[in-house]
Copies of this chain bind each other. A is one copy, B any other.
C-alpha cells in the first residue's frame, strides 16, 4: 500500500477529483428512468458501429505495439478486434437494453401487525471500479452493465489495450454527451500509471463502493490482497465432472466431451474428470477414448494410466490446475462421497457436474457440494449468465458474499428497505 511518502501528488489529486465527479454522477444515474438508460444504451450500440473504423485503427496501434513487444498467441488474440467483434459488442449492448430494469424491483413486501408497510427495493450499488486486462470488449460490456444497473463506473483497462479502450470510451463519452446523463457516469482512466490501481483499491477517498477485477489469477490476487473496499472476485474455475457408476454411457460421453472441449478457454470448462472405479474399464474407457480422439491430453492417476494407454501420469499439481486448454486430469474414485471429498479438497467452488441416472446419488452431490453452481446430467459449460437466462454477465462469482455464480445486472444491485407508516412510534 502507498503511504503519503511515496504518493505522486498529481496522480492522487486527479484520481480524487475523478472519484468525486463519479460519485456525483452516480447520484443522478441512480434515479434515471429505464427509458433514459435504455436510450443511452441503444445510442451507444449505434455509436460503436458508426465509430468502427476509428476503433479498429486504434486497435491496430495496440496490436502492433504488442507484436513489437513480442506478444503472441492467446493474449494477442484477446487484444485484436475486427468488424465481427465490434458488431458482437454492439449487439451485446442492445441485448442489455432489452433486459428488464433491475433497479426499483420490489423484492419483498409485507405489513407488520402495527400497520407498518415494509418493502425491500432493489437499488444501484453506487460507484463500481473495474480493473481489467487485455480484452477491450470489457470497456463496452462493463460500461453497459453498469449503466443498466444504475451504477457509475471507473474503468481501468490494461496498458496494452490503451488506444482501443480510449477509442471505445470516446464513443461512450459522445453518447453520454447527448443524453441527460452526466458524462462521469462512465469514467475511463487514460493514464497507465500503475499507482492508479492502488488508488482505486483504496477506494478513492470513499468514492468507490465495489471493485470488480476481471483478468488472470495474479490480478485478482493483487486486488484481494490490497483492496480496502469490497471486491466481487471471479477466481479460477477448476470445474469437475463426475461420472457415477450409474451414468448413462451416451450422456457421459457427450457431457464430458462438451464440458471439456466445446471451448477450452472459458472458466466453465471442465478441468478434472472423476470416474467411479467400478465403471473405469467400461464407460470410463469410452469417455477417455472420445476425449483423446478429440485431441485432449489425458493426465491420469495410477488406475487411469493402467487402463488407458493414451494417458500420462498426473502429478499432485494437476488436481489444482485450471488448464484453460485441451488437457484434463482424470482420477478414479470410489463412489459419490469420495468424489465430493476430492472436489471439496481441490476445487475452486465454481461449477461441478455429476452424470448419473441414480437420483439419490445426484441429490447427494447437489446438496453436499459448496460450489456456486452444481449440476446433474448437464455440461459444465452451461455456467454462463446468458445460458442461465440472466442476460450478459461481468463474470462468474466464486466468493460467497453478495453474488455467486453469474454476475449480471441484477447482481450489480443492492437494496434498501422502504417503510411506510401512519404515525407509528415504537412502544
Contacts and interface: CB of A to CB of B under 8 A. Distances in A.
Interface stretch (A181-189, A223-231, A315-323): A223-231
A378 B426 CA distance: 9
Interface residues of A, number: 65
Contacts of A210: 400-401
Given A210-B401, A417-B405, A419-B376, A425 B255 contact: yes
Q: Taking chain A's interface residues, is the majority helix, strand, or loop, or is none over half, making it mixed? A: mixed
A374 B426 contact: no
A137 interface: no
A423 interface: yes
A250 B425 CA distance: 12
Interface in A374-427: 374-379, 381-382, 387-389, 399-402, 404-405, 414-426
A251 interface: yes
Given A405-B416, A424-B377, A426-B258, A126 B230 contact: no
Contacts of A87: none
A31 B367 contact: yes
Nearest to A362: B420
A231 to B, nearest CB: 8
Nearest to A399: B230
Nearest to A366: B418
A277 interface: no
A209 interface: yes
A209 B399 CA distance: 9
Nearest to A257: B425
A80 B184 CA distance: 53
A262 interface: yes
A248 B424 CA distance: 13
A17 to B, nearest CB: 18
A165 interface: no
A224 B229 CA distance: 8
A362 B117 CA distance: 14
B416 A382 contact: no
A194 interface: no
A371 interface: yes
Nearest to A424: B378
B377 A416 contact: no
Contacts of A209: 400-401
Contacts of A400: 125-126, 209-210, 230, 414
A418 B371 CA distance: 10
B374 A254 contact: no
Given A30-B370, A368-B31, A414 B424 contact: no
Contacts of A83: none
B262 A421 contact: no
Given A27-B344, A399-B230, A401-B402, A377 B112 contact: no
A116 B258 CA distance: 16
Contacts of A254: 423, 425
A79 interface: no
14 contacts: A118-B388, A125-B401, A251-B423, A257-B425, A366-B418, A373-B417, A375-B420, A375-B421, A377-B422, A378-B423, A387-B426, A400-B414, A401-B401, A404-B414
Closest 10 CB pairs of A and B: A378-B421, A258-B425, A251-B423, A402-B402, A375-B419, A381-B426, A401-B402, A230-B401, A377-B421, A379-B425
